[in-house]
Structure 1
Amino acid sequence: MTDAGIYVDSGSLSRKVIAIAAGEAHTLALTEGDGSVYSWGRGTFGRLGSGSELDRLFPAKIEFNSTEKVKIVQVSAGSYHSLALSDDGSVWSWGHNTYGQLGVNGENSLVPSLVQVFNELHPPSSLTDELITKTESRLQISSIKAGGMMSLAIDNLGSLWMWGNCPPQDSLTEGEFSLVPTYTPIPVWNFHGQTVVKVACGNEHIVALVSTGETYKGDDNLVCYTWGNNNHGQLGLGDTEIRTTPQIIKTFNQESSYTPYEVACGAFHTSILSKTDGDMLRSVCWSFGLGDHGQLGQPGQGTIKDSLYPEIVEGIPENVWLVSVDCGLFHTSVVSSEGYVWSFGKGNGLGLTESDGGDAVTPRLIPCNGLKYPCFQDPLQVACGAAHTVLLADNGYKLWSWGRGRSGVLGSGQVNDFFAPNLVLWPPLEEDFKESEKLDEKDSFEIIKMKKELNVAMKEIDLLHSKLSTMEHYASILHGMIFGKPFEEEKDILLSLKSSYDVGKEWENMLESCDYGKLVRLEMFYCKMLASVKDKMMNVKIKEMIKECLESSTSVYH
């Protein structure tokens, strides 16, 4: 059992998450066994790949429309779009497409669509016979990355491709900068004789880790290149001048003693993890660019000064190995192999507009329900959205999230903000019933009967929400008559009013007593169960859960 009481089968690879990605207000998770992708959060523009624009409060599987089974090996999320890479090198995309970030000149896509151009690429005629043999007659994509309104990919020869709202590749009039919509992936030709290994992008800039030689063997030193807009110094080149072609950062050039191994981009800032040559046990986090909310984690600069050069983020112990870094819109999170998590930037490192303590200018250690440190066992990856953070830990069997909860972006079945890590509802409850056998006629009749009762309970909850809305409306009018303005959120209720009667607390208690999240989850797996349940033993379990839930809801209403 997990801390949330959800059963986790440690031997089931289909429930082990190997990668996560966070967009502006949505999250993706990739499982190891069958390469399935799950999504949750805000659904506008089709970024969840669910076939609709509805929000999802907890993880749900994405279906890939293909004649053959698709096994995904990598996922990435831009602001409002998503990318996935399959084991055969095919790229899938869905979501927002105003600037061509899906790799096609068309409308937004509510479901994953194949980026056809990559299936038609062949090696250039200038390649040697040896390299042509390695490509197996056609180029394949080996890595993908989305950020802002653009998409990037690296092929099996180490070449970089980009599409969407991209930095221009030609010369610009001095002082001018504008992104160029690109609907078809185009190659970046500046790394001839080198291999692009990792890449990241913000709203208007790109950062690439590139091999020093023609090939990369996995243990070679990497150097760092940046290009694009540089209005806040996010290129780390010591100035604010625009670059239309990749430029190497001196801090991470071939002569440097610091070797970069991870890179992440926020909207207008960059973070890099580097190791010191010959010392694999020590790593350092660097940052540069926009620092107006403390997202650079650099003390002595306040929260309004940008950094034009890479500077070390102080406040992180020197004797740790950093395994992952990611940047949100205005915050940054870093994870060590021991399970420590640090965040810094807007909203006390949470990315929120409003939170206790203001902005975190230096790294803030993220607590975990009061447990002793290190509280996150076997951490693998951190992902930051605009105002939320997701951590993959417990060797892939637990997901934690915190920050803004609107639209279900935290995957907990709720829409509340969380200022401390909270468990994501993983694995999805619907997975428990995939291999169940079909019901007989008597069982089906009982289930249909219970479904009707469940629908009645859901209607009663809708009625409660309607009454709550009316209550909020009149409370706002009353507040306006007394204090001169209506309130929009619980925080707007004056202390003088809250001291006599905590309206916000009463609303919270009412919503909690409705147990709305449990009923929503129950209805989701129950509907899918009708067509797929095969195991009669599972049927008993379903009946007991529904009966228990209905009895609980009935006690609330009476």
Structure 2
Amino acid sequence: MYSWGANSSSQLGQGICNEQYNTPTKISEEKLSLVPERVIQINGGATHSLVLDSLGKIYMCGKININAKDPNEILYTFKQIASCENIIFSQIACGWDFSVGISKYSKLFVWGSNSFNQLGLPKDKYPFIAEPILVNDISVKFVACGLRHTAVITLDNKLKICGSNTHGQLGLVDAIGNSLNVECFTDIPNLENIKTVACGQKHTVALNFRGEIFVWGDNKWGQLGFSPKLMSKSKKPIKLTIPKLNDPIKLFCGWTHNVILTASGHLWSWGRNNYGQLGRRCDENNSWLPEKIQLNDVERFSIGAEHNLAVASNKLYSWGWNEHGNCGNGCLNNIFEPTIIDSNVSNKTIYCIGCGTGQSFAISK
């Protein structure tokens, strides 16, 4: 298991706190309480990281606030969440300073900061949750987290959402059209048969089973797929038309950019591109146009706040924001096109990758 990028809170699980690792660095076996070959998902927030293994166990590291009496407590290496050792999880997700998990039986567990009701519970009663707790009266099969909002897909393919709604990212409005604030997970009207969803810093993207894509929230950087000059934000979901794209299977949101992975192994991107996060050359006037990235046969993809990882033909690529070495190429310059990470990890079979805000992970054998 390799990690690199920001590590000021030991979110890389390397056993120490330091500024950063500029290249993929193997986590020594004595520092791992998990089996790398079992890892099926890696995700991270600003200062913490989560790992899910094939046995349904969640491991955490970093500044995770797991002890409410000591909010600055740090886990220097990945440790299993003891309070959940009898729960089998199927998915994990992270926001800036909070986490969620779905159990094998479609139950939703949440923990961390709830300052914006992003955990789907009233913030006045639950301002912070130290250990994962069950959100009652909701059964879900998929979850996505933004900076401070959360979206879930229910068993009947409805989309429920909660959290900050400062830029319309919840897609909820009141009777006179103002953004609606809610304390608990709430249905978004007129959105049905949802297949998957992704959340950005202040926007949301959803895909239904007909292949239609809907976007809402902040559009300052064209992250909704149309010119910011036309509309700076949308408080309600609107349909996005991408004529050349007919087989989307997965959606990914960074803070202000989006990427779609298609069944044919292609990547499409749009939104902000000041750090090269779109993986293609374009100016600020047309970065809102969804276009294909020149990287074929993509097998795996993961997105951070403003950087990206991809595996194509068993080579590990990165691009975008690189201030903390999170692109893993040994320097701190931003990368504007998919570039192979030349390291030991790229010379092996890569079967899992993951990103946090400024951290990156890969597992190879």
In 1, Cα distance between the equivalents of 2:109 and 2:183? 15
CA contact (8 A) 2:153 2:194 kept: yes
Q: 1:185 aligns with which of 132, 136, 150?
A: 132
SS of the residue 2:137 aligns to: helix
Of 277, 281, 303 in structure 2, the residue corresponding to residue 384 of structure 1 is 303
Q: 1:331 to 1:290 in 2, by over 3 A?
A: same
Instruction: Assess if the C-alpha contact under 8 Å between 2:272 and 2:288 holds in 1.
Output: no
Hey, what's the Cα distance between the residues in 2 that align with 1:204 and 1:58?
A: 29
Answering whether residue 1 of structure 2 is matched by residue 43 of structure 1, we say no
Q: 287, 299, 312: which one pairs with 1:393?
A: 312
Contact 1:344 1:359 (8 Å CA) reproduced: no
SS of aligned partner of 1:79: coil
What is residue 86 of structure 1 aligned with on the other side? 53
The correspondence of residues 3-82 of structure 1 with structure 2, limited to 5 A, is 37-54=1-18, 55-63=20-28, 65=31, 69=35, 71-82=38-49
Q: 1:359–1:117: structure 2 CA closer, same or farther, 3 Å change rule?
A: farther
- Specify the alignment match of 1:226 in structure 2: 161
Aligned to 2:100, which of 152, 155, 161?
A: 152
**What is the identity, as a one-letter code, of the residue corresponding to 1:391?**
A
Aligned counterpart, 1:165:
113
Return the alpha-carbon distance in structure 1 between the equivalents of residues 3 and 33 of structure 2: 22
1:423 partnered with 2:340? yes
CA contact (8 A) 2:151 2:161 kept: yes
1:329 to 252, 255, 266: 255
The alpha-carbon distance between structure 1 residues 390 and 285, as it changes in their structure 2 partners (threshold 3 A), is: farther
Distance 1:265 1:381, change over 3 A: farther
Contact residue 52 and residue 110 of structure 1 kept, 8 A = yes
Cα RMSD of the aligned pairs, angstroms, is: 3.0
Residue 169 of structure 2 aligns to a residue whose secondary structure is: coil
Q: Which of 139, 152, 157 is matched with 2:87 structurally? A: 139
Residue 95 of structure 1: aligned partner: 62
Change over 3 Å in CA distance of 1:272–1:178 after alignment to 2? farther
1:108 corresponds to which letter in structure 2?
I
Q: 2:342 & 2:53 partners in 1: Cα distance?
A: 25
Task: Quote the offset at 1:361 in angstroms.
Answer: 5.0
Higher strand share: 2
1:201 maps to which residue? Answer: 145
1:240 is the counterpart of 2:152: no
CA distances 1:148-179 after superposition (whole Å, capped 9, x unpaired)? 1110011121110000112445657xxxx998
Aligned with 2:236 (options 281, 304, 309):
309
Matched-pair contact (CA < 8 Å) for 1:59–1:425: no
CA distance 1:348–1:322, change in 2 (3 Å): farther
CA gap 1:59/1:307 in 2 versus in 1, 3 angstroms: same
SS at 2:158 equivalent: strand
1:517: which partner in 2? none
The equivalent of 2:362 in structure 1 is none
Deviation at 1:308, TM superposition (A): 1.2
Separation in 2, partners of 1:424, 1:293? 28
1:405, CA displacement in angstroms? Answer: 2.2
The CA deviation at 1:367 is 4.3
Q: Which residue of 2 aligns with 1:408?
A: 325
C-alpha distance in structure 2 between counterparts of 1:53 and 1:82, whole Å: 14
Instruction: Give the TM-score taking structure 1 as reference length.
Output: 0.55
Q: Does 1:268 align with 2:188?
A: no
- Number of the residue aligned with 2:213: 285
Q: CA deviation at 1:425?
A: 2.8
1:293–1:360 Cα contact (<8 Å) kept: no
Tell me, in whole angstroms, the C-alpha distance in 2 between the residues paired with 1:251 and 1:61: 47
**Offset from partner CA, 1:183-231 (integer Å, 9 cap, x none):** 111111131xxx311101112211001112xxxxxxxxx1111112212
* 1:389-538 equivalence runs, <5 A: 389-394=308-313, 397-425=314-342, 427-428=344-345
Sort the Cα spacing of 1:349 and 1:273 in 2 relative to 1 into closer, same or farther, 3 A.
farther
Letter in 1 for 2:196: E
Q: Distance in 2 between matches of 1:202 and 1:90?
A: 23
Contact preservation (8 Å) 1:269, 1:287: yes
Residue 346 (structure 1) aligns with: 272
The CA distance in 2 between the partners of 1:111 and 1:48, in whole Å, is 8
SS at match of 1:428: helix
Contact 2:216 2:224 in 1 (8 A): yes
Tell me by how many angstroms 1:243 deviates.
0.9
State the AA in 1 paired with 2:238: E
C-alpha separation in 1, matches of 2:48 and 2:329: 22
- The change in CA–CA distance for 1:381 and 1:296 in structure 2 (over 3 A counts) is farther
Higher relative contact order (CA 8 A, sep 6+): 2
CA–CA distance in 1 between the matches of 2:137 and 2:55? 27
More helix by share: 1
Instruction: Give me the identity figure in percent.
Output: 25
For the 8 Å contact 1:76–1:144, the answer to whether it is kept is: yes
Say if 1:298 and 1:429 are closer, same or farther in 2 by CA, change over 3 A. Answer: closer
Offset of residue 40 of structure 1 = 1.4
For the 8 Å contact 1:268–1:289, the answer to whether it is kept is yes
Residues 1:430 and 1:391: Cα distance change in structure 2 (over 3 Å): closer
Cα shift readout 1:301-337 (whole Å, capped 9, x = no counterpart)? 52761111112223x2355211222111111122222
Where do 5+ consecutive residues of structure 1 fail to align?
A: 1-36, 120-137, 213-221, 254-258, 277-282, 369-374, 433-558
Alpha-carbon distance in structure 1 between the residues aligned to 2:13 and 2:146: 22
Asked whether the equivalents of residues 284 and 322 of structure 1 are also in contact (C-alpha less than 8 Å), the reply is no
Displacement of 1:242: 0.9
Change (3 A) 1:338 1:171: closer
